[in-house]
Amino acid sequence: MSLDDMVQTLAEQLGGPVVLYDADLNLVAFSVHGDDVDEARRSVILSRRASVRAQEMIAAYQVRKARSLVRLPPHGETPARIVYPVWHAGHVLGYVAYIDKGPDKEPRPQHQRFLSKAEPEIGAMLALRALQRRQSSDEPRRLLSELLSEVSATREAAAAELLETGLVSSAARYSAMVFRPAQQPTRTSGAVRLAIEQALSMIVRSTSLKACGAVLGDEGVLVIPRPVNPERLANLLSRPGLESLRAGAGGPRESLALVRESHREAVMAWRAATADPAGYGTSARWEDLGIDRLLIQLPLDSLAMEDLPVAVRRLLQARSGGKLADTLEAYLDHGADAQATARHLVIHRSTLYYRLGRINDIIRCDLADGRVRRELHTGLRVATLAGLRATT
């Protein structure tokens, strides 16, 4: 009997839809049920993962340590749910979850019996599944690691093997993407693994070309046989469970053995998207970085306000300096065109001229001087990437 069959049998015994997760709360199987699918279950099926709220509640109620049914109370429009941890060989390998339709706040005894009886077989099958997934992911992980090696011969051998085994399709150009959390966790985030899985699934559905992805250290790496589509990348990161991630995309290369260069660019693009989400959103491409290609490689983490040009420092430290800095940056972005700047900021030109006058007084420099404008424009950009500008 397969996991799908076992989950369907449990659904019939428990009298309602059942969902089975693995130990990382990724969706493994779900029952087919005639009732209307509630919004929470629909979200799980679409995202292939438990919701963030469900993950938080499972942790808060210590379901991982339980040896019996645990009732999670209702939250908002989400009804109460029962979660049962599936143990195997001394470890929790998954969770069975379903809506609590009982009249009281205590799970029904017969449900415990049904689940306890099914637990050994479900646990054994989850263990086998985990082993197969580890084995199937080892080869892509090894080859991608070698593809990014500093040794040219190692990269060339890995590229040849990736193409010979069909893990990556032969193509005219190859690009790399990286996925990392916006804030570095103490251990690799499950969202990184989910991003790689969903990206590969998206590629399978949209093209016959094959891509290769794996989690390497603290990042997810994806190599595709074509340039990166920025809209598809942004759509991927908008899916449930991936909100904590940022992504970077490198430029295409004509040889798979040269993808290491694209990966380096992807890391730089990830840094830019992480440093300036207001400007880039959740992802950035190397091709779109402009001057940030250079600036993002500065030792931004070690920069302080004192390292900025004097005029920039005076402006940022002044009263209402954040708003004035935004105004000045918009003015410089629009080539010192007052009309275009006012239209962009949705303010009257007289308001813009008033702000520019205040800026002139604060920085004690002449905005008509091209060298001053260059210093201000670059300095403000560095301040943004280094996190030295207050959000407004």
Helices and strands in the chain: count of H runs, count of E runs: 15, 10
Under the banding of pLDDT at 50, 70 and 90, the label for residue 79 is confident
Give pTM, 2 decimals: 0.64
Residue 39 CB burial class (10 angstroms; 0-12, 13-18, ≥19): exposed
pLDDT of residue 186: 45
Helix 310-317, helix 349-363: angle, nearest 10: 120
Tokens 């929470």, located at residue: 40
Are the C-beta atoms of 7 and 31 separated by less than 8 Å?
yes
- Model confidence pLDDT, tens digit, residues 356-377: 999 999 999 888 888 999 999 9
- Model confidence pLDDT, tens digit, residues 190-233: 889 899 988 988 887 788 888 999 999 889 999 999 999 999 99
Other residues' Cβ atoms within 10 Å of the Cβ of residue 87 = 17
Using DSSP bridges, classify how beta strands 91-99 and 81-88 pair: parallel, antiparallel or unpaired: antiparallel
Please tell me the number of Cα atoms within 13 Å of 289 on its side-chain side.
Answer: 28
- The backbone torsions φ and ψ at residue 173, rounded to the nearest 5 degrees and listed phi first, read -145, 150
Question: Nearest CA to 328 among 292, 305, 354, 296?
Answer: 354
- Model confidence pLDDT, tens digit, residues 167-190: 899 999 999 999 999 876 545 568
pLDDT of residue 376: 94
